[in-house]
Amino acid sequence: MKINKLLLILFVLLAFAGNAVAQFGPIGYDFKDPYVEFDNLHFAVRLSTVNNIYCPDPNSLHIEKTSADELTLSCDVLSSAGGQLSSPGKIELRITKMGNSRLSVAAKASHPTEICKTILVLIKGINVTSIVSEYPQAKGVKEFTNNAGIMVSYPSRSATMPLVFITTADKEWFVLSKDKELRRKGFACSYDYLSKEPVILLSHDEDARNLSNSIESPEWIIGSGHTRLSIVKERCKDLEQNFNIIPYSKKADTKWIDELKLVAFFHGIHWTGHMFNTYEQMGDQLEWLCQTMDGKNIMAFLPAWDGRYYCTYPEHQPDERMGGREGLIKLVERAHKLGVKVVLMLGGPNLATFDFLRKHDMMDASLKGSDGYPQIQNWLDWNMDLSIETMGLIMNFGHPKYRQYMTEKTAELFDTYDVDGVFLDGALRWDNCPDYSPYEGLLQYTKEIRAKYPEKMIMGEDGYDAIYGLFDMFHTSGGPLGLENFMLRYTRQFYYLSYPAENGSAGIHEIGWSLNSPTIKSARLEFTIPSISLFDGIIETYGDSIRKKLKDYKTWQLKECPVMNE
């Protein structure tokens, strides 16, 4: 009965989901925020509860300038609906001049009867032309116009740090959160049609597991006249101090990664059932590669090694058509004799099928939004029939039962097949979940695996700053990810799974054909471990061109960038 109810909720969500995109824009009336001037900028503050949004009531507003360098705005009555409604409650905004063209801004609020979820700081006085939160391929550079607002949130692919740079015609500003926990941050800019100027919005969301009648924003640092590198490094120092992230240069077990010159993708079985390789064919191709390149310089990466891509996640058993259990064991043995490392792709947070979830009684283990509704894997047309397939649920590694299953599955693969590592698809998946933290789940999973298998590797797809140090390598569709390439301070990257074979096919990846895709054009070779994709028959047709690439890759070296160093 419980499962049937959950499925009913899912189908209702599917029916109404359509192509909905979150909208962002100014409220269509004068909200009447009371602004206060400080250091040539104007500041306001709002409290968002699960019921409404409030600003200080101007009639109860108290502004205190405790010194030339600090100002406090406070009230004990809240206003909403442009002053038509009022409510008891408190808001406080404190602004402090820190010197060196930096301001510290902090806010807190409470409501006697409503649950507080977000506190916002509004800023006027900066003539915004663009906001930069990531590199362009991740949609992290957004131009501002009066007709189109900007909004990005952290953690996400378009904001892998709680940091943005705001450009104007004559200088650049930055906004950095000093939060010592992983909590959602929002950065936005909209046009104020009444005062006819841009307004910057900064939001801090409380952890959905800890909502109460009060909320307090960690310190925001706002400034100008600093290089991007210096501010990115400041966030890196915060990560290393508050999140115990260890820079790559200080890790003990990464020396073999530094020897890699090639990641070879050996594609398995497409969603539709088309088989690109058997395990034996993969082994034959590996031996061919090692005629040109030393095996210790090669990592074999196996997507869809466990049957039809996505269709059985996260069962993760060798596919019988490809050669079954014995075939996979023999492949790994052949690879190891050549000095090649073998890594298996797992579904990770990205998907568990409905069949798996029902069988293992885990329908409650999905990644949920702050509203508590499960997130569905339903964004791809896998077979080109012009309708989207609904595969299952996106998963939350913080769910104890699911995390335990994935930990045990990883151990089984290491013990049974002696593979050298596993790859978690969708490691980026995060939301402000009301039940379990996806970040804390990944932290626990990697801790347990490393304690038992310190010599094995854990890889992931994309990511954000607080998890980069948990993984040995990532594959990304551009970059390196991170402002100032900061990802390379903590980990390494290779080309994305859709990197095409010599005939242009992306193999099992849903993009299909990607020879001219920005997937391969946006990743910078000097920072990205070279990659190739191999299917049965490709070598016979394109052997000469592949061999030429291998000879070039033998001399590849990672280029140092400033953020990698202290």
Q: Are residues 253 and 109 in the same domain?
A: no
Q: Are residues 342 and 274 in the same domain?
A: yes
Q: Mean per-residue pLDDT for 223-243?
A: 97
Model confidence band, residue 186 (pLDDT cutoffs 50, 70, 90): very high
Q: Which residue has the higher pLDDT, 11 or 493?
A: 493
pLDDT given for residue 26 in this prediction: 85
How many whole angstroms separate alpha carbon 394 and alpha carbon 362?
Answer: 12
Model confidence band, residue 70 (pLDDT cutoffs 50, 70, 90): very high
pLDDT given for residue 3 in this prediction: 46
Q: Are residues 155 and 264 in the same domain?
A: no
CATH number of the domain encompassing residue 425: 3.20.20.80
Q: Are residues 125 and 262 in the same domain?
A: no
Q: Which residue has the higher pLDDT, 523 or 190?
A: 190
Q: Are residues 213 and 257 in the same domain?
A: no
- Does the structure show a pLDDT above 80 at 517? no
Does residue 152 lie in a domain region?
yes
pLDDT given for residue 1 in this prediction: 44
Give me the amino acid identity at 548: K
- Does the structure show a pLDDT above 80 at 144? yes
Q: Are residues 218 and 283 in the same domain?
A: no
Tell which residue, 71, 84, 75, has the closest CA to residue 43. Answer: 71
pLDDT given for residue 347 in this prediction: 93
CA distances from 225 to 99, 103, 174, 201, 288 (A): 12, 12, 9, 21, 54
Model confidence band, residue 400 (pLDDT cutoffs 50, 70, 90): very high
pLDDT given for residue 136 in this prediction: 86
Query: What does the DSSP assignment read for 289-303?
Result: HTTTS-GGGEEEEET
Q: Mean per-residue pLDDT for 42-67?
A: 96
Contact present, 294 and 335 (Cβ < 8 Å): no
- Does the structure show a pLDDT above 70 at 168? yes
Q: Of 249-253, 312-316, 333-337, 378-382, which range is least confident?
A: 249-253
How many whole angstroms separate alpha carbon 149 and alpha carbon 25?
Answer: 6
Model confidence band, residue 22 (pLDDT cutoffs 50, 70, 90): low
- Does the structure show a pLDDT above 60 at 363? yes
Q: Are residues 382 and 491 in the same domain?
A: yes
CA distances from 342 to 66, 213, 245, 347 (A): 62, 51, 26, 17
Q: Containing domain of residue 536, as a range?
A: 248-564
pLDDT given for residue 23 in this prediction: 65
Question: Average per-residue pLDDT in the chain?
Answer: 93
Q: Are residues 211 and 284 in the same domain?
A: no
Q: Mean per-residue pLDDT for 118-128?
A: 98
pLDDT given for residue 11 in this prediction: 42
CA distances from 353 to 31, 114, 364 (A): 46, 37, 13
pLDDT given for residue 38 in this prediction: 96
Q: Of 84-98, 157-171, 509-523, which range is least confident?
A: 509-523
Q: Peptide bond preceding 56: is omega within 30 degrees of 0, i.e. cis? A: no
pLDDT given for residue 66 in this prediction: 84
Percent of the chain with pLDDT over 70: 96
Q: Are residues 267 and 133 in the same domain?
A: no
Contact present, 531 and 495 (Cβ < 8 Å): yes
- Does the structure show a pLDDT above 70 at 96? yes
How many whole angstroms separate alpha carbon 396 and alpha carbon 162?
Answer: 22
Q: Mean per-residue pLDDT for 324-348?
A: 97
pLDDT given for residue 20 in this prediction: 41
Does residue 232 lie in a domain region?
no
Model confidence band, residue 522 (pLDDT cutoffs 50, 70, 90): confident
Does residue 16 lie in a domain region?
no
- Does the structure show a pLDDT above 60 at 511? yes
Largest CA distance in the chain: 80
Q: Mean per-residue pLDDT for 521-540?
A: 92
Q: How many domains does one find in the chain?
A: 2
Model confidence band, residue 21 (pLDDT cutoffs 50, 70, 90): very low
Q: Could you read off the pLDDT of 206-219 as tens digits, one per residue?
A: 999 999 999 999 99
Q: Are residues 217 and 278 in the same domain?
A: no
pLDDT given for residue 478 in this prediction: 76
Does residue 474 lie in a domain region?
yes
Q: Are residues 212 and 291 in the same domain?
A: no
- Does the structure show a pLDDT above 50 at 19? no
pLDDT given for residue 12 in this prediction: 41
Q: Mean per-residue pLDDT for 251-259?
A: 85
Tell which residue, 151, 157, 153, has the closest CA to residue 479. Answer: 157
Does residue 122 lie in a domain region?
yes
pLDDT given for residue 534 in this prediction: 97
Q: Mean per-residue pLDDT for 1-22?
A: 44
pLDDT given for residue 474 in this prediction: 94
Q: Mean per-residue pLDDT for 524-542?
A: 95
Query: What does the DSSP assignment read for 39-51?
Result: TTEEEEEEEEESS
Q: Mean per-residue pLDDT for 178-187?
A: 98
How many CA atoms, within 13 angstroms, populate the side-chain half-sphere of residue 322? 32
pLDDT given for residue 282 in this prediction: 98
Does residue 304 lie in a domain region?
yes
- Does the structure show a pLDDT above 70 at 540? yes
Q: Of 33-42, 312-321, 402-411, 475-484, which range is least confident?
A: 475-484
3-state secondary structure 534-547: ECCCHHHHHHHHHH
pLDDT given for residue 338 in this prediction: 98
pLDDT given for residue 9 in this prediction: 44
**Dihedral angle sign, alpha carbons of residues 149, 434, 107, 154:** negative
Does residue 503 lie in a domain region?
yes
- Does the structure show a pLDDT above 70 at 14? no
Q: Are residues 63 and 189 in the same domain?
A: yes
Q: Of 39-48, 92-101, 133-142, 449-458, which range is least confident?
A: 133-142
Does residue 3 lie in a domain region?
no
Q: Could you read off the pLDDT of 467-497 as tens digits, one per residue?
A: 999 999 999 877 777 899 999 999 999 999 9
Look up residue 110 and give its DSSP letter: E
pLDDT given for residue 138 in this prediction: 85
**Both tokens assigned to 253:** 């077990």
